[in-house]
Amino acid sequence: MLSDKSRPVIEATLPLVGSRIGAITPKFYQRLFAEHPELLDGVFSRSNQRSGNQQQALAGSIAAFATHLVNNPGTLPETVLSRIAHRHASLGITEPQYQVVYEHLFAAIADDLAEVITPEIAEAWTEVYWLMADALIKLEKALYAGQANDKMWMPWRVAAKTPAGAGSMTFTLEPADATPVTPALPGQYISVKVVLPDGLRQVRQYSLSGETGTSRSFTTKIDDGGEVSPVLHRSVQVGDILEISNPYGEITLKDGDGPVVLASAGIGCTPTASILRSLAEAGSDRQVLVLHAESTLDNWALRSQMTDDVERLDGAELQLWLEQPEAGAKPGFMSLREVDLPADASLYLCGPLPFMKNIRNEAISAGIPATRIHYEVFGPDIWLAS
């Protein structure tokens, strides 16, 4: 809870700090990596630093947290914090690193706002930072404690590489040592650490796309301009060892018997395919509506798996949109205005950010409460900053 002393200060300075935070965060990262270059080796994404996505995500999360404290005294933005905590845990973020971040972030704030910042303002924003940091530390400790092991990275062997649509590949892994395996939930992801040609280690999160439990398989679409996916597709071979994390992610299938809507676009079908597979494996009698949008039929990465699972479920229906339409598919882009949504449905959503924003807005307009709309973001969550 934000103190009575700090609340008016934050309320008064939030517009200024909010307007400058997008300029402050790049300065923060410059300071951070100048002092701790090791954080770019296996923790922070070099690509996201170059694109500015990481800076944008950090700025958005700080602004959203401070705004929530001002507008909702006595509460914390649990959904935002949970998403960040799962992402941090998948990277192995530890409590001491929050002090390192604090030092360099507030040095960047002091530098950018040197003409206006006062000890009172600095104290109030320090309180905001540590409220957020302490909440995340608590959540992350609980996530670590819930795993079947106390390791961050474990060796898993590539058992199979299977083409999955044009430009996509499914990697099936098996344990390479005796480390206890945490059962994964449908919709969760793992972090995968890859050594790049220049020797730098980089980490990416990939949704588990097939059976979950103690199995591990993920599907990735190659990005020719990226750093990690080309190495996975072209250099990693069957029999090679990959370092992966325990499973994380809070966007998982909720218990219940109500209707489920799975909406995805492109490679965003990976978490929804995992949820669909779990429903099929369980012989669920829930009403399931699978919605997918793709550029072409050949590009649909998990087409066979998803269509087979829809066929296995008596209460499942598939609707497909293609930019280059073929028989049996709707032309163009997905729109919920064309869909008869089940009453009391829960919506699980994954795909490019503009797609998810549009579908979420349409779902709310159609009467689905925001609390029953669950979305997964690949990479930094820049939704908060946009």
Q: How many domains does the chain have?
A: 3
Nearest in space to 350 (alpha carbons), one of 299, 275, 245: 275
- The CATH number that applies at residue 275 is 3.40.50.80
CA distances from 223 to 22, 161, 167 (A): 27, 17, 9
Rounded Cα–Cα distance for residues 41 and 36 (Å): 10
For residue 199, give the DSSP letter: S
Residues 279 and 309: beta-carbon distance below 8 Å: yes
Domain membership of residue 255 (yes or no) is no
Measured from the Cβ of residue 187, the count of other Cβ atoms closer than 10 Å reads 27
Strand 288-294 relative to strand 260-265: parallel, antiparallel, unpaired? parallel
Of the residues 248, 269, 292, the one at which a domain ends: 248
Strand 330-331 relative to strand 316-322: parallel, antiparallel, unpaired? parallel
Furthest-apart CA atoms within the chain: distance in Å: 67
Phi, psi of 212 (to 5 degrees): -110, -120
Pair (223, 242) in one structural domain: yes
Pair (52, 107) in one structural domain: yes
Rounded Cα–Cα distance for residues 215 and 174 (Å): 7
- Give residue 385's pLDDT: 41
Q: Considering the candidates 29, 98, 129, 189, report the single residue annotated as catalytic.
A: 98
Name the one residue in this structure whose structure tokens are 């819930």.
146
Measured from the Cβ of residue 319, the count of other Cβ atoms closer than 10 Å reads 17
Rounded Cα–Cα distance for residues 299 and 222 (Å): 12
Strand order in the sheet with 168-175: 201-207, 189-195, 241-244, 154-163, 168-175, 216-221
Pair (228, 307) in one structural domain: no
Name the one residue in this structure whose structure tokens are 């709309």.
373
For residue 176, give the DSSP letter: S
Nearest in space to 127 (alpha carbons), one of 243, 250, 6: 6
- The CATH number that applies at residue 118 is 1.10.490.10
- The CATH number that applies at residue 165 is 2.40.30.10
Domain membership of residue 163 (yes or no) is yes
Pair (139, 157) in one structural domain: no
Nearest in space to 334 (alpha carbons), one of 353, 356, 317: 356
Radius of gyration of the chain (CA): 22
DSSP 249-310: -S--PPSSSS-EEEEEEGGGHHHHHHHHHHHHHTT--S-EEEEEEESSGGG-TTHHHHHHHH
Pair (29, 142) in one structural domain: yes
- Give residue 379's pLDDT: 59
Pair (172, 139) in one structural domain: no
Side chain identity at residue 159, one-letter code: A
Pair (136, 158) in one structural domain: no
Nearest in space to 341 (alpha carbons), one of 262, 230, 255: 262
Phi, psi of 186 (to 5 degrees): -55, 125
Host domain of residue 341:
260-376
Q: CA triplet 342, 348, 353: central angle to 5 degrees?
A: 125
CB hemisphere CA count around 196 (13 angstroms): 17
- Give residue 380's pLDDT: 56
How does pLDDT run along the chain (386 residues), one tens digit per residue?
899 999 999 999 999 988 888 888 889 999 999 999 999 899 888 888 887 778 777 877 888 899 999 998 888 889 889 999 999 999 999 999 999 999 999 999 999 999 999 999 999 999 999 999 999 999 999 999 999 999 999 999 999 999 998 999 999 999 999 999 999 999 999 999 999 999 999 999 999 998 888 999 999 999 988 999 999 999 999 999 999 999 999 989 988 899 999 999 999 999 999 999 999 999 999 999 999 999 999 999 999 999 999 999 998 999 999 999 888 899 999 999 999 999 899 999 999 999 999 999 999 999 999 999 999 876 555 444 44
Domain membership of residue 212 (yes or no) is yes
Domain membership of residue 352 (yes or no) is yes
Q: Give the 3-state secondary structure of 135-158.
A: HHHHHHHHHHHCCCCCCCCEEEEE
Domain membership of residue 253 (yes or no) is no
Active site residue 120: no
- Give residue 244's pLDDT: 98
- Give residue 13's pLDDT: 93
Pair (137, 33) in one structural domain: yes
CA distances from 363 to 52, 261, 335 (A): 30, 10, 10
Token digits for 302?
């998990």
Active site residue 129: no
Residues 77 and 64: beta-carbon distance below 8 Å: yes
Nearest in space to 334 (alpha carbons), one of 285, 291, 298, 372: 291
Pair (33, 121) in one structural domain: yes
Token digits for 196?
């790049």
pTM of the model: 0.92
Domain membership of residue 180 (yes or no) is yes
Pair (139, 27) in one structural domain: yes
Pair (129, 26) in one structural domain: yes
Pair (45, 138) in one structural domain: yes
Of the residues 222, 248, 274, the one at which a domain ends: 248
Rounded Cα–Cα distance for residues 386 and 153 (Å): 33
Q: Considering the candidates 29, 129, 140, 189, report the single residue annotated as catalytic.
A: 140
Domain membership of residue 383 (yes or no) is no
Domain membership of residue 307 (yes or no) is yes
Of the residues 146, 172, 195, the one at which a domain ends: 146
